Amino acid sequence: MLSNYLLSWIVFTPMIGFVLVLLMPRDKVAWIRWTAAVFTFIPMILSFYLYAIMNPSDGGFQFIEKYSWISAFNIQYYLGIDGISAPMVILTGLLGFLSVFASWNINKAHKAYFALYLLLVTAMFGVFMSLDFFLFYIFWELMLFPMYFLIGIWGGPRREYAAIKFFLYTLAGSVLMLVVILAFYFNSTDPSTGRHTFDIVTLMNQANQGPFIKEFWIRLAMYIALFIGFAIKVPVFPFHTWLPDAHVEAPTAISVILAGVLLKMGAYGLMRISFPLLPDMARYTAIGLAILGLINIVYGALVAMAQTDFKKMIAYSSVSHMGFVILGLSSMTFIGFNGALMQMFNHGIITGMLFLLVGVIYDRAHHRDLNGFGGLATYMPIYAGITSLAFMGSLGLPGLSGFIGEILVFLGSFKVYPVIVIISATGVIFTAAYFLWAYQRVFLGAANEKYKGIAEINGRELFTLIPLVLIALFFGVYPVPFFNLVGPSLSKLLMMVGH
Amino acid sequence: MIEHYIWLIPFLPLIGAATNLLIGKKLPHAAVNIIAVGSISLSFVLSVITYVHLVSLPAEQRQFVDVVYPWIGLGSFQVNLSFLVDPLSTVMILIVSGVGSVIHLYSVGYMHGDKRYSRYFGFLNLFAFAMLLLVLSNSILLMFVGWEGVGLCSYLLIGFWFEKIENARAGMKAFVVNRIGDFGFIVGFLLLFTAIGMKTGTWSLDYGAIKSSINIVPTAILTIVGIMLFVGATGKSAQIPLYIWLPDAMAGPTPVSALIHAATMVTAGVYMVARMNFLYVLAPDALRLIAIVGALTAFFAATIGLVQNDIKKVLAYSTVSQLGYMFIGVGVGAFGAGIFHLMTHAFFKALLFLGSGSVIHAMSGEQDIRKMGGLAKKLPITTATFLIGTLAITGVPGFAGFFSKDDILYSAYISPYGGKFIWLLGLMGALLTAFYMTRLVILTFFGKPRMDHHTAEHVHESPKTMTIPLIILAVLSAVGGYLGMPGAFGVHNVFAQFLEPVFASGFKLPEGSLSLEWILMGISVLAAFSGIGVAYYFYAVNMELPAKTAESFKTAYTWLLNKYYVDEFYLKYVVGGVMKLKDLLSLFDSGIIDGAVNGTAKLGKKLSDFDGAFDRIVVDGAVNAVGDGVVSAGGVLRKLQTGLVQNYLIFAIVGIALLLSFVLL
Amino acid sequence: MMHRDLIRSLVLITPEIVAALTASVALIGAMLMKRSRGNEAFYIGIIGMIGALAATVILYERLTLDTAFYGMIAVDPFSLFFRIIAYTSILYVLLMSFNSRELKDTDGKWEFVAILSGFGIGMSMMASSLNLLMIYLSIELLSVMSYLLVSYTKGVRRSKEAGLKYIIYGSIASGFMLYGMSILYGISHSLNLREIALTFINSNYPPVTVYVATLFILAGFGFKIAMVPMHMWAPDVYEGAPTPITALLAVASKAAGFAVLLRFFYTAYISSVSMTQYYAQVSPIKWLTVIAIISAFTMTIGNIVAIPQNNIKRLLAYSSIAHAGYMLIGVSIISKAAIGSILLYLAVYFFMNLGAFVVVMVVDNNLNSEDINSYSGLSQVAPGLSAAMAVFLFSLTGIPPFAGFIGKVVIFLSAIDKGLYWLVIIAVLNTVVSLYYYARVIKKMYLETAPADIQPIKVGMLPALIIISLLIPTILFGIWWAPLQSFAHFSSFMY
Amino acid sequence: MLLSTITLSDYLILSGLLFSIGVFGVLTRKNAIAVLMGIELMLNAANINLVAFSKFIDTGLNGQIFALFSIVIAAAEVAVALAIVISIYKTTRTIDLDKEDTLKG
């Protein structure tokens, strides 16, 4: 029973929470918080259960729920997951739950905040599970306006600007995607019914038989339009400029969600849609993708080095890290794909950790100026310890999961783009440089009297951080389960796009 | 039996590290000591057992692999967490865990009363784990894990007293410089991995797999791989051009300098080259480069050592120079000799550092040898052991350094990859070494005390926990060399024989004649004694001579004193360059791409309000083309809406006319 | 025989008869009880409209595909669809009028109701006419009633000015249209659309002249739907008119315009030739391409000029121009599917736009201001109202999961089906632009803090119900629009 | 006799001229009443067309009926227009269209 509708349960449990929160009196803050906690906890547990009972060995889609939705256009309510989406779902569940506790000290309009938050969680789950292109788009867009409000109302001083910037950027990308979706629709035929379809799986199969559209340039245009839509989310240079603003202004929890989940959707879209549906174009433009990945890695790292705002630095480090994902995807090799997906997952965990850590210090010091601290390690040893661990994970230190992803991307891509990989490898130097530099400025040196008696990281914050730390460590030393989960699906994908 | 417990050797210290780091704060010092020293000593015991087990086997079977679990598994690409035990790794684990235990013990005394006591031992244990992992690993990738791990611990321990920002800076410098090396290392094994994979279809980084299919890789690629891997080594083992971090690394506690920056970590590069010998022998050019770099480093580091006044700085440069010798050894193909020197050096350099530590301890933190002198009376044990160490490093016959260094110089002379030039540089290095070490000893322990009397009365011999390690190491430095007595003495070289299987694949050095060996030995002994003599004359007999010399060779002196201005050069051009670049790019990012050419101040106030935001969005990356037009157009078209109905009508009629013309044309 | 036909015809126009009765009752009432400030007139009107609606639904149930009065007017799902829209919108206007500040203290509510009923008749006739004369008459009926409604409020200068501009502009437009019709009549020797179609099929006509006539007639229709270049009256009139009337113009009048536009072109220019070759018959003049270009201009200008607006009604006026542009995409394809999508869009547009106007009215009643800046911090004082407004605006932008998105999608679908990629891309980029000014209002409501002196907003029972009744479909049809889809599809059948 | 020489094209030319004059008047005159007269000209131009066509081409009387209707409509329209103009005149004491520009932008 449960496992028949497992995915729907995961998607819509937060929605139930959303309704409940709306029904609650606005002054019962505790109720609202705990409702949010419970209704994100349930889907998290369910997503773990999902992992427990799914059978990764066949790379196909599982837990499929397929119902006709709008028969006039052959639109379906079609959910299903495979090895590629499963880690993303788990990541969403985990961060979705933990971020509730990072939102504990939201200080105004709790009801609205948590309602929108739960809506956002539902949308995120939906994106990773929907196998109907139209449904996918609905969920994809459904993330926009909650995010707009969450940044715009509860964000930092420049929140209005950041919010609308995020909104316009993302919408600009997704409307282009919409055109492509419709184009796919009209060039598709469901073999069983002979009608047009939004069914991604059917589209994949059709793409396998041969290109959708004869005209080369239309295919290229479609691919590029799709790519822009996803590239804005990733974000790929030069579409990245919304990210630092959005991250810096967003409240901690939302930064975590942004970096941990939303950024993944771009790459996920590439793997789930662009590559399988336009494989020839994917191959044709792979080199360009690789170059963009290279730019992301090196450029992001260098710009991060220049930042004085703690959050902004991490935002740019995200740009740099997602570059690895792009590079890995562009390699079109099994190892590269595994590395990319691993990197996606890690980035979610580790960058999530970093934003939580920034939140901790921001709540205490009420600023994020890297030069404004100094010697904090004296006052907050535990905090300093966890931060150093997160930094090390982020700069790809072996033994933590970050390393696995990056090195696999390199190993996989080298044979395809040796030069690009070599240049990207300089990224490891710059990354180390800016993280250690930041660490030195914030934590090391003579203790800054101004922060004498600053409170050490508290239990709630630890509760949000420890799970992520453990995961980062675990996958650092034993990533095999991850590869067993994603491997088959990735080799399927590789069969579609591989050289 | 022991085959299946190899993994305990690295993991025991790891457990120790974990316990001390997580709950060490709560534990009493005694418990911390037991955990830390106990764990590393246990690994030492296990290492000994391993050694015994290994020698019990016939020579050709002295190699087995302990697979713990599959680490990365991607279809054909498999990396196991597996440990390779063969003579080479056995020697290494013996050195690491052995010297490691001694230095852990020493630290108990040295770090006594430090407020982060448990954390110190946690880091130290963590280092031991990483180092043992490095030397035991059965695959380059796993070795890289250890490689990075020791780097991390070195960073953490250099900056252990982070309250002083210089220490933190030194740590960061070490890590980043090492990262530059790692860049080379990564590229190296990526290339190797890909070359072999594309040739054979087996994608692996295990030594075995590489070794078996190394022959089919073209020499050119092997040379590049060799060089790139060596770049990594120059970072880790402080060779030209990346040696600059090591002297600064002395900011860490002295036992750390002894363990990490003298005995073990810095020798990782040497170990790596020896481990990859099967690759390097196929890439002679790479070997030549290594030998040359090693020789140059050996010489130049020694010259800098001549004029340093910080006791630990002198030892640091001597370490750099000694590492140069090791690279000469492995570079000329005498891998055994290189490893042999690695071992002896581990003994006497650890001894010297610990000795210096004991001195600093006694001098209550003073490190400038110009403010010392005459300590011999007050610190008998320290002095005695330090002297032994000095004799060992200067290569006085009979002491450990003599045999190993001599072996290297001899091999350098006869090897096709070495030659007279390398040998000559090495020799001069030896001479300089003898000079500055003697200088160091004299200035520190003899002559009249030059410290202010307040410190003078606090000078006292160190506690047992510190002196015992000194004695142990002194003994080793004295006798350790006899393990590898060259054939010239009519005995066969036990050490070389033991390592034989590992380097079996390697080429054989040409048989030099006995007479030549004796001659060279004589020359180097001569060099050593002349170095000692000159130093004695300068600093014990004719005291004002050094100043005079410095005066007469002013420029040379200042250049040496400022270490050839290498740091300044790097700071100005490399670091400065990167800093400029990042500023430029971030300006580009906020300026061109994010369209805030007019700097943040103006934006700051504008961005608060929405229209300002839109202006920004307008000049903002992807949407600017649309946006800019939109706003201005909005303003313009709005003007058309004059409010006069007849204007509207004109507009309408003109519009209709246009539409008419559209087809009439 | 003949009078049976007459009876049949009368039966087929029962809704209009009901409306006419309502009008006459209202007029009598006006004579009997002059100067009454009571709302009984509105009740009469509501009853009448409900009656008309009921009649329409009954007719719709019978699924007739028929003509009345010797082929003068068609009674088919298409016309019935628009009749429903007509009477429903008038119903809503009446409901709004109970609370409208502007209409509260006008005497002569009876006349108001009468005029509205007339408006309704005109609109349903526009949707049904099969004859140039009928088209002209119904358009004029609608127009004259609108002129009266716009300038209805006594002593309000801007409403008078709006009325004057409206009537002058409108008369010119109808002048053009009439001239065009006369030419068309001269060419085809007939006023009946189907006979006109026949002349096109036999293709004995001077193309350029036909094109001129077509453009002139298009000008007349375009005036009603506020399409570029005939759009400029809209902002001024929308701003000047009392809010319920603005809503009526934005929703009903525009819908009527599209009704007559579609009916005219589909019957006279399309239906009689095979659906494969679209505008083959009036070649080489690609008037559909012309409409495509017009639609591109309409949506773009509408959105762009909306950006700097500060009066909410004016902003919505420009947005309604832009939406006309989106719907014109469908016109430029004018296949059965396209017509269906336009009808769906109109239905969706009806809910969300009307809803926005109701909110505007409520805010105006309380704060006595239509300035966007007066919406600052509205969410703090009136959370429900702001939430509704946000939904309506997001829906107007076309963001899922709101109905507006569906409307856009079905239009785009039909466009891409015919390969009009360029137009669709312009349209989607326009949605991004439109987000900017819609979000601007939302930002005022949510992201800014209320001024200290803001008085609490009182949302009456009735407006609340109205808003909810519009809010529900706006959300529901965003998630489950299959019924709406089939309804629109079925309604796209013309005689 | 004379009539017979007047062809359809003459009517059309006349109506065309009339229409143009009407448009010109509408666009140029500032007086609201004058503008309304211009509109009348336009409508009547159309009427001429209709009548002419119905005389020369059509077998029935469609055109002429149409013309009659349009005359009536025009009257109604003008009536409304005048009512509005007057009510404006009451408040502003002017019927100059250039003064009617409070709504703009």
Name the residue with tokens 């250099």.
Answer: B158
Find the mean pLDDT for residues A194-203: 90
pLDDT score at A2: 66
pLDDT score at B599: 36
pLDDT score at B607: 35
SS3 at position D61: coil
pLDDT in tens, B412-421: 998 888 888 9
Q: How confident is the model at residue A323 (pLDDT cuts 50, 70, 90)?
A: very high
pLDDT score at C2: 67
Find the mean pLDDT for residues A462-470: 94
Chains A and C touch (3+ CB pairs under 8 A): yes
CA-based nearest residue to B219, from B288, B279, B291:
B279
CB contacts of A137 in chain C (<8 Å) are 400
In terms of CA atoms, which chain B residue is nearest residue D102?
Answer: B643
Q: Do C409 and A182 touch (CB under 8 A)?
A: yes
Q: Which residues of D96-105 are buried (b: 16+ CB within 10 A; e: fewer)?
A: ebeebeebbb
pLDDT score at B122: 93
Q: Do C164 and D85 touch (CB under 8 A)?
A: yes
Q: Do B663 and C211 touch (CB under 8 A)?
A: yes
Question: CB contact, 8 Å: D9 with chain C?
Answer: no
pLDDT score at B517: 84
Chains D and A touch (3+ CB pairs under 8 A): no
Question: CB contact, 8 Å: D96 with chain B?
Answer: no
Q: How confident is the model at residue B616 (pLDDT cuts 50, 70, 90)?
A: very low
> Where do the domains of chain C lie?
286-495
pLDDT at residue C275 is higher than 50? no
Residue C194 near residue C292, CB atoms below 8 Å: no
In terms of CA atoms, which chain C residue is nearest residue A22?
Answer: C384
Q: Per the omega criterion (within 30 degrees of 0), is the bond before A238 cis? A: yes
pLDDT in tens, A10-48: 999 999 999 999 999 888 889 999 999 999 999 999 999
B7 alpha-carbon distance from chain centroid: 24
Name the residue with tokens 């020489």.
Answer: D5
Q: Do D102 and B643 touch (CB under 8 A)?
A: yes
Find the mean pLDDT for residues C444-453: 84
SS3 at position A64: strand
Question: CB contact, 8 Å: D10 with chain C?
Answer: no
pLDDT at residue C54 is higher than 50? yes
A327 shares its domain with A255: no
The secondary structure element, H or E, covering residue A186 is helix A159-186
Written as one string, the DSSP assignment of A89-154 is HHHHHHHHHHHHHHTTT--S-HHHHHHHHHHHHHHHHHHHHB-BHHHHHHHHHHTHHHHHHHHHHH
pLDDT score at D2: 56
The answer to whether residue A361 is domain-embedded is yes
Q: Do C416 and A153 touch (CB under 8 A)?
A: no
Question: CB contact, 8 Å: B650 with chain D?
Answer: yes
C-alpha distances (whole Å) from A96 to each of A31, A83, A164 are 18, 20, 23
A248 shares its domain with A349: no
In terms of CA atoms, which chain C residue is nearest residue D12?
Answer: C183
Residue C209 near residue C187, CB atoms below 8 Å: yes
pLDDT at residue A467 is higher than 60? yes
Q: Do C447 and A160 touch (CB under 8 A)?
A: yes
pLDDT in tens, A115-134: 999 999 999 999 999 999 99
CB contacts of D22 in chain C (<8 Å) are 175
Q: Do A183 and C421 touch (CB under 8 A)?
A: yes
Interface mutation target, options A70, A177, A220, chain C, most CBs of C under 10 Å: A70
Written as one string, the DSSP assignment of B377-432 is TT-HHHHHHHHHHHHHHHT-TTSHHHHHHHHHHHHHHH-TTS-HHHHHHHHHHHHH
pLDDT at residue B541 is higher than 90? no
A454 shares its domain with A319: yes
CB contacts of B622 in chain A (<8 Å) are 169, 172, 228, 232, 238-239
pLDDT score at C83: 93
A375 shares its domain with A247: no
Q: How confident is the model at residue B612 (pLDDT cuts 50, 70, 90)?
A: very low
A240 shares its domain with A375: no
Backbone angles phi, psi at B459, to 5 degrees: -60, 130
pLDDT in tens, B205-232: 888 888 888 888 899 999 999 999 999 9
Chains D and B touch (3+ CB pairs under 8 A): yes
pLDDT score at A297: 92
Q: Do B655 and C230 touch (CB under 8 A)?
A: yes
Lowest mean pLDDT among A438-442, B6-10, B504-508, C278-282: C278-282
Q: How confident is the model at residue C219 (pLDDT cuts 50, 70, 90)?
A: very high
Identify which of D70, D84, D102 has the shortest CB distance to residue C178. D70
Binding-face residues of C in 342-401 toward A, CB within 8 A: 390, 394, 399-401
Q: Which residues does B169 contact at the CB level (< 8 Å), separation at least 6?
A: A440, B248
Tokens of C377: 């911090």
Q: Do A168 and C432 touch (CB under 8 A)?
A: yes
pLDDT score at B61: 83
pLDDT at residue B542 is higher than 90? no
Interface mutation target, options B628, B636, B638, chain C, most CBs of C under 10 Å: B638
The answer to whether residue A415 is domain-embedded is yes
Nearest CA distance, C434 vs chain B (angstrom)? 10
Q: How confident is the model at residue B592 (pLDDT cuts 50, 70, 90)?
A: low
Domain span at residue A85?
1-172+235-260
Angle, CA of D6, D8 and D12, to the nearest 5°: 110
Q: How confident is the model at residue C411 (pLDDT cuts 50, 70, 90)?
A: very high
Q: How confident is the model at residue B547 (pLDDT cuts 50, 70, 90)?
A: confident
Q: Do C155 and D19 touch (CB under 8 A)?
A: no
Find the mean pLDDT for residues B619-647: 69
pLDDT in tens, A156-179: 888 888 888 888 888 888 999 999
The secondary structure element, H or E, covering residue B89 is helix B87-110
pLDDT at residue C156 is higher than 90? no
Nearest CA distance, C175 vs chain D (angstrom)? 5
Residue A496, exposed/middle/buried by CB under 10 A (0-12, 13-18, 19+)? middle
Q: How confident is the model at residue C276 (pLDDT cuts 50, 70, 90)?
A: very low
Find the mean pLDDT for residues B630-654: 83
pLDDT score at C205: 76
What topology is assigned to D2-99 in CATH? Helix Hairpins (1.10.287)
CB neighbours (10 Å) of residue A183?
Answer: 22
pLDDT score at B364: 81
Chains B and C touch (3+ CB pairs under 8 A): yes
Q: What is the mean pLDDT of chain A?
A: 91
Lowest mean pLDDT among B381-395, B559-573, C105-119: B559-573
Q: Do C185 and D50 touch (CB under 8 A)?
A: yes
Identify which of B637, B645, B656 has the shortest CB distance to residue C304. B637
A135 shares its domain with A251: yes
Q: What is the mean pLDDT of chain B?
A: 85
Q: How confident is the model at residue B664 (pLDDT cuts 50, 70, 90)?
A: low
Tokens of A128: 């990773």
Question: CB contact, 8 Å: C409 with chain A?
Answer: yes
Q: Do B650 and D27 touch (CB under 8 A)?
A: yes
Q: Which residue has the higher pLDDT, B625 or B168?
A: B168
pLDDT score at B621: 43
pLDDT in tens, A431-454: 998 999 999 999 998 888 888 888
pLDDT score at B622: 40
Q: What percent of chain B has pLDDT over 90?
A: 40
Q: Which residues of chain D have pLDDT under 70?
A: 1-4, 58
The answer to whether residue A417 is domain-embedded is yes
C-alpha distances (whole Å) from C138 to each of A412, B87, C72, C121, C195 are 72, 104, 12, 8, 20
Identify which of A142, A152, A178 has the shortest CB distance to residue C443. A152
pLDDT at residue C277 is higher than 60? no
ipTM over 0.90 threshold: no
CA-based nearest residue to D25, from C24, B319, C123, B649:
B649
Q: Do B175 and A483 touch (CB under 8 A)?
A: no
Q: What is the mean pLDDT of chain C?
A: 89
Q: What percent of chain B has pLDDT over 70?
A: 92
pLDDT at residue B602 is higher than 50? no
A383 shares its domain with A251: no
pLDDT score at C282: 55
CB contacts of B643 in chain D (<8 Å) are 100-105
Q: How confident is the model at residue C278 (pLDDT cuts 50, 70, 90)?
A: very low
In terms of CA atoms, which chain B residue is nearest residue D35?
Answer: B646
Confidence (pTM): 0.90
Q: Do A186 and C416 touch (CB under 8 A)?
A: yes
pLDDT at residue A345 is higher than 70? yes
How many structural domains compose chain A?
2
Q: Do A152 and C431 touch (CB under 8 A)?
A: no
In total, the C-beta contacts within 8 angstroms joining chain C to chain D are 131
